[in-house]
């Protein structure tokens, strides 16, 4: 199960990835200082996992290129409609 999707656009900037890992390890350090090793291990584990996903295996895929704009069907029919209209006008005379 993947908890962090490294291809999400939010993780594209380096400073965001650094901040996430730093906050997790900083919180683990704070928990150790205050004497609560259980929460320190949990926060440290979150920091280790985020480091693994956001730095060690980080290989973002480039955004998918959007297909070139296709002309609308109305644009293709206009010359044909104009030609038909002019031929009908010529026949009525």
| Tens-digit pLDDT profile for residues 11-61 | 888 999 999 999 999 999 999 999 999 999 999 999 999 999 988 887 777
Task: Return phi, psi of residue 60, to 5°.
Answer: -65, 145
Strand, coil or helix: 41: helix
Quick check: 60 and 12 in contact, CB under 8 A?
yes
Q: How far is CA 36 from the centre of its chain?
A: 37
User: What is the pTM (predicted TM-score) of this model?
Assistant: 0.61
A 10 A CB-CB count for 56 gives 8
Q: Does residue 78 carry a pLDDT above 80?
A: no
């Amino acid at each position: 199960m993947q908890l962090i999707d490294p291809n999400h656009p939010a993780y594209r900037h380096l400073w965001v990835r650094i901040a996430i890992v730093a906050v997790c390890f900083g919180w683990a350090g704070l928990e150790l200082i205050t004497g609560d090793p259980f929460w320190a291990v949990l926060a440290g584990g979150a920091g280790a996992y985020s480091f693994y996903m956001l730095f060690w295996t980080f290989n973002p895929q480039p955004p998918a290129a959007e297909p070139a704009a296709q002309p609308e069907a109305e644009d293709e029919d206009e010359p044909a409609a104009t030609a038909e209209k002019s031929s009908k006008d010529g026949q009525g005379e």
